[in-house]
């Protein structure tokens, strides 16, 4: 019985050691590819961008509706709190763990070693550098296109809100909000 327990222990320990080695290799590959750095940059850029979009949106809403000053303060505070709630909560470490789970499972340790070797070579490093440059321009282009779409949609939303208020025959009645 003791021999079986010992064999099971070593089998489990061996499997865990292999999984740890694979995880280490995928993380090394990710660092070599610059993915960890890219994830960290994207997280920061996303926070800054969401803040910019949020401020632009609330400014446009308030200008369009022109509510009293006190209501503007409350609406701004509420909207900024909403924007904070929808901000991505993940860290780059969490993203790496998920990447390891889905990416690493598809490669043997030998294949991971070969990938690390390639991306550590001059050609591999050039590929990584050129990909980073292309990704920056690629992201910028789609961010600008997305900004145009969001700005237009927000303007239409404000126009629709104005129309709702304008068409309201008795907006002075107390409104009951149900959850």
Q: Give the per-residue pLDDT at 2.
A: 55
Q: What is the mean pLDDT of residues 59-76?
A: 83
Confidence band for 156, pLDDT divided at 50, 70 and 90? confident
Task: Answer whether residue 97 is part of any domain.
Answer: yes
Task: Answer whether residue 68 is part of any domain.
Answer: yes
Task: Answer whether residue 127 is part of any domain.
Answer: yes
Whether residue 64 is predicted with pLDDT greater than 50 in this model: the reply is yes
Give, in order, the Cα–Cα distances in Å from 44 to each of 28, 47, 143: 22, 5, 15
Q: Give the per-residue pLDDT at 116.
A: 93
Q: What is the mean pLDDT of residues 90-111?
A: 86
Tally Cβ neighbours within 10 Å of residue 32. 18
Q: Give the per-residue pLDDT at 14.
A: 45
Of 47, 52, 53, the closest CA to residue 153 belongs to: 53
What is the Rg, in whole angstroms, of the alpha carbon atoms belonging to the chain?
Answer: 26
Tell me how many domains the chain contains.
1
Q: What percent of the chain has pLDDT over 90?
A: 11
Domain boundaries, position 76: 21-161
Q: For residues 23 and 100, is the Cβ–Cβ distance under 8 A? A: yes
Whether residue 42 is predicted with pLDDT greater than 60 in this model: the reply is yes
Task: Answer whether residue 3 is part of any domain.
Answer: no
Task: Answer whether residue 93 is part of any domain.
Answer: yes
Task: Answer whether residue 67 is part of any domain.
Answer: yes
- Residue-wise over 57-84: b if at least 16 C-beta within 10 A, else e? bbeebbebeeeeeeebeeebeebeeebe
Give, in order, the Cα–Cα distances in Å from 56 to each of 7, 44, 51, 73, 155: 63, 19, 9, 15, 11
pLDDT digits (tens, 9 = 90+) for 116-148: 999 999 999 999 899 888 888 888 888 889 888
* Residues 137, 142: Cα–Cα separation, whole Å: 9
Task: Answer whether residue 74 is part of any domain.
Answer: yes
Task: Answer whether residue 167 is part of any domain.
Answer: no
């Amino acid at each position: 019985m003791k021999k079986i327990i010992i064999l099971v222990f070593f089998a489990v320990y061996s499997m865990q050691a292999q999984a740890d080695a694979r995880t280490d290799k995928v993380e090394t590959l990710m660092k070599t590819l610059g993915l960890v750095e890219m994830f960290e940059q994207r997280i920061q850029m996303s926070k800054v961008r969401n803040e910019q979009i949020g401020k632009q949106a609330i400014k446009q809403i308030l200008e369009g509706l022109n509510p009293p000053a006190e209501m503007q303060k409350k609406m701004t505070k509420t909207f900024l709190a909403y924007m904070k709630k929808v901000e991505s909560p993940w860290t780059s470490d969490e993203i790496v763990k998920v990447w390891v789970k889905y990416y690493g499972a598809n490669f043997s340790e030998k294949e991971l070693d070969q990938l690390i070797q390639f991306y550590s070579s001059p050609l591999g490093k050039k590929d990584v550098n050129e990909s980073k440059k292309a990704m920056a321009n690629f992201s910028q282009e789609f961010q600008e296109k997305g900004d145009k779409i969001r700005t237009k949609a927000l303007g239409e939303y404000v126009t629709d809100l104005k129309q709702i208020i304008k068409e309201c025959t008795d907006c002075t009645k107390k409104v009951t909000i149900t959850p």
